[in-house]
Amino acid sequence: MKILGIETSCDETCAAVVSDGRRVLSSVVATQVEIHRKYGGVVPEIASRAHVEALVPVVAEALQEARTAADAIDAVAVVHRPGLIGSLLLGLAAAKTLAWLRGIPLVGVNHIEGHIYAACLERDPGAPGPFPCVSLIVSGGHTSLYRSEGPADHRLLGATTDDAAGEAFDKVASLLGLEYPGGPSVDRAAERGNPKAVPFPRSWLGPDSFDFSFSGLKTAVLYHVRGKGAEAKRRQTHLADQEMADVAASFQEAVVDVLVTKTLRAAEASGVDRVIVGGGVAANRRLRARLQEEADRAGIEVLLPAMRFCTDNAAMVAGLAYHYARASRFADLDLEARAG
């Protein structure tokens, strides 16, 4: 079964064709990074307009790359929540139009479930299914832990009480004067830094909590970089290159410590020996290495998506939709976009 996926929940226009939930025949991502760079963040109105321009060529490219004619597609899947409402609406309009024109079923997919499914793409057909497992979603908008029973069956164990991990990376990058988007810039700068240089705080929120908090850490980085109160007015915000790399590495280590510890603790508490990580921050090299290392020690298997399926993409959407289609969980043409 070949499914065309469409994803426009934020600032990437994505389309992909995936066969039987695993084999990625194409995955096209038109990024808007250059458009939003001068604003230092995503401007929703501008994102919507860019989706309008990109959608038709991106869908055409995904079909062409997959060597699949539009009439050989069995279903259209689209992310309808959560995300920027204006952006979601455009992907939804495109998907509904295709489904109606071709007379094929429509599948509505949750973006977070998509990120969890990304680790299941291109797995060896002989490999055992990854469920049940614990799933950690770390993106620009979410930081949550779930116990996952199946591709579309997730029970929330904990979530961030303030900033998402990716948001903290983006804000710290901007404090350090690093290039937008912040996560990959901090990742690169941290490579040259000492993760033990600055003892930034780790927020555990109690020994049994699976919730997260990153705003205190962000403020600690701010105070470290600019100083407090009157001192802040005097002190230059420009750090020497090595000091900047040390702050980036120390900040990253504080985030990674909390993510790795809570994820492995959640696996232990849930009695599972497998964890999945998804979302843009799953591309962070230090997080991948530390998680792999500590999970190996604890006898837990880690499923990490390929780098290109960590950040937003439509392959995760088309892959997940296969399981909806098999369960005949189709959407009507009045499927609505939802921000939350």
Concatenated DSSP letters for 22-49?
TEEEEEEEEE-HHHHHTTTS--HHHHHH
Residue 284 binding result from ligand KG4, Zn ion, none, given CB thresholds of 5 to 8 Å by partner type: ligand KG4
Residue 210 contacts residue 144 (beta carbons within 8 Å): no
**CB nearer to ligand KG4: pick between 42 and 295:** 42
Distance CA 188, CA 169 (A): 12
Please state the closest distance from residue 160 (CB atom) to ligand KG4, in A.
Answer: 12
**CB nearer to ligand KG4: pick between 27 and 270:** 27
Among 114, 130, 279, 305, binds ligand KG4 (CB under 6 A): 279
Residue 7 binding result from Zn ion, ligand KG4, none, given CB thresholds of 5 to 8 Å by partner type: none
Tokens of 44: 């929703």
Sole window of 32-40, 48-56, 281-289, 318-326 interacting with ligand KG4 (rule: CB under 6 A): 281-289
**CB nearer to Zn ion: pick between 11 and 312:** 312
Supply the angle between the helices 165-175 and 215-226 in degrees, to the nearest 10.
10
**CB nearer to ligand KG4: pick between 66 and 186:** 186
Pairs from 177-181 (Cβ < 8 Å, separation ≥ 24): 177/237, 177/238, 177/244, 178/244, 178/248, 180/33, 180/36, 180/37, 180/40, 180/41, 181/33
Half-sphere exposure of 299 (CA within 13 A, CB side): 3
Which run of H or E residues covers position 303? strand 301-303
Q: Which of 252, 85, 238, 86 is nearest to 165 (CA)?
A: 252
Among 11, 167, 187, 312, binds Zn ion (CB under 5 A): 312
Residue 283 binding result from Zn ion, ligand KG4, none, given CB thresholds of 5 to 8 Å by partner type: ligand KG4
Q: Phi and psi of 247, rounded to 5°?
A: -65, -45
Contact flag: residue 184 with ligand KG4 (CB under 6 A) = yes
Whose tokens are 């959640």? That residue is 266
**CB nearer to ligand KG4: pick between 140 and 151:** 140
**CB nearer to ligand KG4: pick between 108 and 183:** 183
Please state the closest distance from residue 311 (CB atom) to Zn ion, in A.
Answer: 7
**CB nearer to ligand KG4: pick between 163 and 246:** 163
Residue 301 contacts residue 275 (beta carbons within 8 Å): yes
Which run of H or E residues covers position 277? strand 274-278
Give, as ranges, the residues between 139 and 168 that touch ligand KG4 (CB under 6 A). 139-141, 166
The contact pattern for ligand KG4, residues 288-327, with x = CB under 6 A and - = no contact, is: -----------------------xx---------------
| Amino acid making up residue 132 | P
Residue 182 binding result from Zn ion, ligand KG4, none, given CB thresholds of 5 to 8 Å by partner type: ligand KG4
The contact pattern for Zn ion, residues 125-164, with x = CB under 5 A and - = no contact, is: --------------x-------------------------
Would you tell me which residues interact with Zn ion (CB under 5 A)?
A: 139, 312
